Amino acid sequence: MKKKILGLIVIAALVAIATTSFVRGNIDEQEAFAGEQMGTDLAMNPANEGLGQGNAAPNFTLTTLDGEEVTLADYKGKKVVLNLWATWCGPCKAEMPHMQNYYEDMAEKENVEILAVNLTSSDVGLEKVQAFQEDYALSFPIPLDEEGVVGDMYQAITIPTTYMIDTTGTIQNKIVGPMDEQMLTEYVNNLK
């Protein structure tokens, strides 16, 4: 009888040790998982990605759909709305009429240039970009990022992405997603 009780105590002790180790192992795994999630969340936070407020806008030179060469530095002294987009992007399509209306009504008065950089390297061909420009009657410059250099430089992960650049060439705002005319007006009014 004493051997049975001693055997049960030993088994109970082994079960307790095994359970404690298992639970501790799960806690360690949960803590590790929580740490991974925190890292993932921080990495996915748009505020930590790409260029943002206070950064100098990186210079670039591209050729427009009309064959003109455009260099961002040439616009120093003007407010610049730098929009990164593609023809297949639904939200890009939604904001283009607003950008065109703003350009027609306010750009000259507010000393603003809109540069709508088409991410041609990820788009569906120049013919589609040309058709898009005609369909939406866009009159602002459409520089073509055929090599993906500007998209990479500005770290545009989601499109449309728009950078509001002040007269000194400093980024004042980064807007991810489509804008309407009122938003454009408010952001431009806050540029110096």
Distances (CA, A) of 15 to 12, 61, 189: 5, 70, 70
Answering whether pTM is above 0.85, one says: no
Distances (CA, A) of 176 to 30, 112, 150, 173: 33, 20, 16, 10
User: Tell me, what's the pLDDT at 17?
Assistant: 52
Is a pLDDT exceeding 60 seen at residue 164? yes
Is a pLDDT exceeding 90 seen at residue 73? yes
Q: Domain locations in the chain?
A: 2-44, 52-189
Distance between CA 171 and CA 113 in Å, rounded? 14
User: Tell me, what's the pLDDT at 19?
Assistant: 45
Mean pLDDT of the chain: 82
User: Tell me, what's the pLDDT at 145?
Assistant: 97
At 37, the pLDDT band (50, 70, 90 cuts) reads very low
Tens digits of residue pLDDT in 108-124: 999 999 999 999 998 98
CATH code, 52-189:
3.40.30.10
Tens digits of residue pLDDT in 138-160: 999 999 999 999 999 998 889 99
User: Tell me, what's the pLDDT at 27?
Assistant: 40
User: Tell me, what's the pLDDT at 31?
Assistant: 37
User: Tell me, what's the pLDDT at 173?
Assistant: 96
Tens digits of residue pLDDT in 11-29: 545 445 544 444 444 444 3
Distances (CA, A) of 49 to 58, 92, 160, 171, 174: 15, 20, 15, 14, 11
To the nearest whole percent, how much of the chain has pLDDT over 70? 74
